[in-house]
Structure 1
């Protein structure tokens, strides 16, 4: 795909979106984007593929797979996700942003949960794109750094990952504190 111009970029975008929509790690899409297209274009294409994959999974859960998703989210697993759903419903943009900034959790489960719960698409997708950006840059830099002597890119990737973790934890604590205050 690297040397195929717009055709290669379009193929990467479609393959990356399909992979992200199917639940493969979005960081892998960004890494491969950086490896194939360099840090800047790899970030742009990786982010676009991730957001498109997020939108596809969200739309599938909301429009087509609601019954399937309800069965998958029922039971013990679903009871654990109910608080996440409630926080998303209260603050779709803020809660989504906090969850996306943290490199833990299941991207596909959050996409399906948001679609199932009927979370508004625009704030969910906008916060997802913004929350994906730091890790996308990190992994595109890592991908680019693997291809060429990129020690500075690997160091910058590590610093950005730490910053993303810190911001995500602060946002998550604020969301929890706001929810605790609302409940009391």
Structure 2
């Protein structure tokens, strides 16, 4: 018989998946990637439109949607500075949803799914967590969703994980928000500048992958991502 705590966890999980199913069925995630639709909604609905878009962005990234796309849309709609801030906030909240879902409701499933990789990930991440998470967010391999699930299902310190994630999210979030702003405001200089930053960011990520963490976390995340994709 389920205890009240177990029942609460199960109910929370069911509600999350029902909400996601409703959003997918109604086409909200498709609308979220439509820059014109998002801009019109925010302009027409004001604060309620902002909250609706933010909530959809959070859930979109919580299930593995690319945060770069959200940053692009926010930059197109709100400009570089505010777009970067809103996209980064949505990314970290979405990260938190996945992290705590894995920690409190589906930890056993994740552990069985990824097997020994969870232990290897935990051994790597638990020392200087915030710094290593920054490196992970810069890597050109691995899945953001898989990283959040592995962190949540292990003893990864939440404070270091979220701090490192937020800092690690900022560079690409800024780059794609700038690109979106360049498109939205027909600013060719901003668009070109964001492209240069993207190339620089990719080179840094490739360097980190090849020289710093390739034998450890990069391979773990890449293998885990392949396993998740094949399922």
Please give the TM-score of this superposition, normalised by the length of structure 1.
0.83
Structure 2: runs of 5 or more not aligned? 1-40, 218-231
| Paired position in structure 2 for 1:13 | 54
| Paired position in structure 1 for 2:138 | 101
Please tell me whether Structure 1 or Structure 2 has the larger radius of gyration of its CA atoms. 2
Mapped to 2, the partners of 1:95 and 1:59 lie a distance apart of: 20
Alignment partner of 1:90: what SS?
coil
Alignment partner of 1:2: what SS?
helix
1:26-175 to structure 2, matched below 5 A, reads 26-74=67-115, 79=117, 82-169=119-206, 173-174=211-212
Mapped to 1, the partners of 2:200 and 2:78 lie a distance apart of: 24
Mapped to 2, the partners of 1:132 and 1:144 lie a distance apart of: 18
Report if aligned partners of 1:43, 1:140 keep a CA contact under 8 Å in 2: yes
Please give the TM-score of this superposition, normalised by the length of structure 2.
0.68
Mapped to 2, the partners of 1:36 and 1:103 lie a distance apart of: 27
Mapped to 2, the partners of 1:15 and 1:68 lie a distance apart of: 25
Bigger relative CO (Cα 8 Å, ≥ 6 apart): 1
| Residue 5 to residue 102, structure 1, CA distance change in 2 (3 Å) | farther
- Give the CA RMSD over aligned residues: 2.4
Report if aligned partners of 1:47, 1:136 keep a CA contact under 8 Å in 2: yes
Mapped to 2, the partners of 1:139 and 1:103 lie a distance apart of: 16
| Residue 170 to residue 91, structure 1, CA distance change in 2 (3 Å) | farther
Q: Can you list the C-alpha shifts for 1:137-156, whole angstroms capped at 9, x where unaligned?
A: 11111112222212111222
